[in-house]
Structure 1
Amino acid sequence: MIIAGVIIVILTFYAIVKNYETRVVLMISGLLMAFIGGNMGVALEAFAKGMVNASLTPIICVTMGFSAVLDATGCSQHLVMAITKLLNRAKFIIIPATVILVWLINISLLSASGLAAAVGTILIPTLIKLGVRPAMAASTVLLGTWGSSVSPGNPFIVQVADLAQEDIMVILQGFAPKAFICAVLAALILYVIAKVTKEGAVGNTVSDAEEKTEGETFRIHPLYAVVPLVPIILLILASPAVKILPAISITNAMLLGTFLCFLVARPEIKGFAGAFFKGNGSGFANIVCLIAAAAMFIEGMNMMGLTSALITAMEDSTSIAKISATFGPFILAAISGSGNAAVLAFNGTVTPHAASFGLSISDMGSVVQAAGNLGRCMSPVAGVTIICAELAHVNPIELTKRNAIPCIVAGIVMMILVLV
């Protein structure tokens, strides 16, 4: 039965790599394994419970609704333009500065593809005007799109907090500084690569006249630019370590951000409400249903004895557990363009047993989800990669060539900082 289960799991991830519908693939595989294991009902119940998870579903839906109204009202664009003006003042270190700023923006604007579309449209042409070669300009923006790994609105961080039964901000306060070190390291490595290959800024500059013209084309409204950051600021100030504000849930912080967005932008009510609830629906369909499908897949693995066999194998070697937690999701994300399935499967099956490997659930789970995002930053088939490549008019594989070393080194360092 173990051999049959391994074959099904391999075929499952092969289908995901081939871009078959991830939710359907996970559900079919989970049901098949549960059938072979003798109890399909358990897998179906796991799916139903995943759909109405009281800890995850409200946070995911409201966060995606907030993200949708930021795009609909243009608040996200104002934040991006404000960041772009700062970048123009750091021309000599434009590549690492861009990576870090995109990484920081991604903490607030969670969608990697949406971020690339919003930020890339402005930053990639700006980098090219500054003399950065097109492929390097696109790689620079792409390399910053894993900042959501330290966002309290990230559904996978929420999942980790739920598994560990810990406050999400406490987990992030421990993990975020280490992740930031890895982001800086990756940015510096890309900077060195740009210097060695002479693909960095080589003399072209955006003239004062050009900057003035671009500034006149889009006038930044400070309040619009601040709105996307409000929920993050509230959660930090209300976290157990800071306690400047009374405790507030992620859902309430996102709802307050949504209300503030409405007050600042004063949009037409029907369109604003439509965007918010459409974002809620998108979060449910794309994330909650994926989590539920992964729960069905995990239950199928349990029924076939795969989970217990995997845990037993890892108990014999803590090193294997650490490497698997980092590079399992990383490799699948790099190959398939999405590490979500691997992250959910790993955090559902192995992470709850982290203590058996001498690790904490929060540390292992944090690394798993961040590694999936890092691997996606060097995937030639990821949606965010394709967007960045298209904006620079280059082949997506060119971005993989430039980001591979920074991403792999960052993954290794993250494993050492968090798990060793």
Structure 2
Amino acid sequence: MILTGILLVLITFIAIIRGYETRLVLFISGIVMCFIGGNTIAGSNAFIKELTNAGLVPTICTVLGFSYVMDYTGCSKHMVTFITRILSKFKFILIPGAVMVTFFVNIALPSAAGCAAAVGTLLIPALINTGIHPKMAASAIFLGTWGSVMSPGLMFNPQIAQMAGTDVMTVISSFSVQVLLAAVIASIILTILAVIKKENIGYKSADYKKHLTTDNFKVNYIYAILPIIPLIMLITGSKQIGLTPYVSVPTAMLIGTAIGFIMVRPNLKEATKKFFRGTGDGMCDVVGIIAAAACFTAGMKTIGLTDSLIDVMKNSQHIAQFASAFGPFIIGAISGTGNAAALAFNGAITPHAADFGYNIIQLGSMAQIGAGLGRTMSPVAGSAILIAKMANVNPFEITKRNALPTLAATIIVMVTLL
């Protein structure tokens, strides 16, 4: 049954890489493994349990709802335009600055595609107009789209917090220094590559000037601050800071949404629809894949594969260390999404972290960070395709430039976190 389980897992990830619906593939694979293992009901029970998970569902849905409202009200554009104008005044740090701006925006707007659309629309033309080659401009923006690993709304952080019996901000604070260090080093490596390739200066094209539409856009500074208000509340109210009363992630997002309604005064009917559209998409796109992955990991356990993997990892701490970082990384790079791999790893292996000499937060965080970095060099990721289209380049050109920075960042986080 172990060999059958390995074969089914390989088929599952091949199917995901080839573009089949991730949720369907994970669910079917899980049910099949449960059937072979003699407990078919285990997969469906795990699936249903995650759909009603009180720790995950409200967090993910409210974050998406808030993000949709910020986009509808234009607050996201005000924030990105404000940051872009500041960055354009310091041309000598444009490339690393663009990476880090995207990185921090992605914390507030955890959707990689949404962040790419918000930042790329403004920053890519700005970078190109200063003489940076379109391939490097696109690579800089895409390299910043793993900032979501530090977002309280990313599906993995609430999942790890629940497994570890702690709050989301405690999980994020445990790896924030390592991730920020890796992000800075990755941006510097990309800048060095730009200098070596002579893509940091000298590019001239009039085609992009017409797309730079922010010159006459008047930034409302209050609107620009609104997207980060929930994040500020969560940081200042965390156990580590304690400056303000503690609030949960859903509460912070609801308060942020309410402040947005009051300050921007949009069409309340349409804004409310946007909020609930976001919560619905959160349930569909994020909770749905978590539930399907739970069914998959239940199948792995039922067929005996999980116990076998744990036994192998018990023999070497280095195997667990490497697997948690580069297993999800490789799947993310190949498939364009590391979600399935990271969720499967966290569901099957992370609860047993103590057996390998680590704690749940360490191992689970490394898996999701590796998945995020792998996706950030994938030519088939949705955000990569979107950014490549904005810059009018081939997505594989972005992959070639981002491969070394993302590999370096993964190794840095792995060495410093585990």
Are the equivalent residues in 2 in contact too, given 1:326–1:371 (CA < 8 A)? Answer: yes
CA shift for structure 1 position 47: 0.7
CA shift for structure 1 position 203: 7.7
The number of equivalent residue pairs is 415
- In structure 1, the residue matched to 2:278 is 279
182-191 or 194-203, which moves further after superposition? 194-203
Q: Is 1:85–2:70 an aligned residue pair?
A: no
Shift >4 Å, 4+ stretches:
203-206, 213-216
Are the equivalent residues in 2 in contact too, given 1:116–1:141 (CA < 8 A)? Answer: yes
Are the equivalent residues in 2 in contact too, given 1:130–1:205 (CA < 8 A)? Answer: no
Relative to 1, partners in 2 of residues 1:216 and 1:143: Cα closer, same or farther, differing over 3 Å? Answer: closer
> What CA distance in whole angstroms lies between the structure 2 residues aligned with 1:324 and 1:243?
35
CA shift for structure 1 position 205: 12
- In structure 2, the residue matched to 1:119 is 119
- In structure 1, the residue matched to 2:155 is 155
Q: Percent identity?
A: 47
TM-score by length of 1: 0.97
Aligned partner letter, 1:185? I
What CA RMSD, in Å, does the superposition of the two structures yield over aligned residues?
1.5
> What CA distance in whole angstroms lies between the structure 1 residues aligned with 2:90 and 2:177?
23
- In structure 2, the residue matched to 1:324 is 323
> Structure 1 regions of 5+ residues with no counterpart?
none
Aligned partner letter, 2:354? A
CA shift for structure 1 position 217: 2.3
- In structure 2, the residue matched to 1:144 is 144
- In structure 2, the residue matched to 1:7 is 7
CA shift for structure 1 position 269: 1.3
CA shift for structure 1 position 31: 0.5
- In structure 1, the residue matched to 2:50 is 50
> What CA distance in whole angstroms lies between the structure 2 residues aligned with 1:286 and 1:240?
31
> What CA distance in whole angstroms lies between the structure 1 residues aligned with 2:323 and 2:64?
30
Alignment of 1:116-195 (within 5 A): 116-195=116-195
Helix, strand or coil: the match of 1:217? coil
Alignment of 1:18-417 (within 5 A): 18-202=18-202, 216-417=215-416
CA shift for structure 1 position 399: 0.3
> What CA distance in whole angstroms lies between the structure 1 residues aligned with 2:9 and 2:65?
34
Are the equivalent residues in 2 in contact too, given 1:37–1:303 (CA < 8 A)? Answer: yes
Are the equivalent residues in 1 in contact too, given 2:132–2:203 (CA < 8 A)? Answer: no
CA shift for structure 1 position 289: 1.1
Helix, strand or coil: the match of 1:244? coil
Helix, strand or coil: the match of 1:220? coil
CA shift for structure 1 position 241: 1.4
Are the equivalent residues in 2 in contact too, given 1:47–1:293 (CA < 8 A)? Answer: yes
CA shift for structure 1 position 167: 2.0
1:348-377: CA deviation from partner (whole Å, max 9, x where unpaired): 000111111101110111111111111111
Helix, strand or coil: the match of 1:401? helix
CA shift for structure 1 position 151: 1.2
CA shift for structure 1 position 267: 0.8
CA shift for structure 1 position 270: 1.1
CA shift for structure 1 position 214: 5.3
1:263-306: CA deviation from partner (whole Å, max 9, x where unpaired): 11111111011100000000000111111111111111111000
Relative to 1, partners in 2 of residues 1:57 and 1:215: Cα closer, same or farther, differing over 3 Å? Answer: closer
Are the equivalent residues in 2 in contact too, given 1:148–1:154 (CA < 8 A)? Answer: yes
> What CA distance in whole angstroms lies between the structure 1 residues aligned with 2:313 and 2:255?
44
CA shift for structure 1 position 39: 1.1
Relative to 1, partners in 2 of residues 1:194 and 1:216: Cα closer, same or farther, differing over 3 Å? Answer: closer
CA shift for structure 1 position 216: 4.9
Aligned partner letter, 1:399? I
> What CA distance in whole angstroms lies between the structure 2 residues aligned with 1:317 and 1:168?
29
> What CA distance in whole angstroms lies between the structure 2 residues aligned with 1:298 and 1:52?
17
Aligned partner letter, 1:254? M
> What CA distance in whole angstroms lies between the structure 2 residues aligned with 1:304 and 1:203?
57
Are the equivalent residues in 2 in contact too, given 1:182–1:410 (CA < 8 A)? Answer: yes
> What CA distance in whole angstroms lies between the structure 1 residues aligned with 2:205 and 2:97?
16
CA shift for structure 1 position 200: 0.6
> What CA distance in whole angstroms lies between the structure 2 residues aligned with 1:111 and 1:169?
19
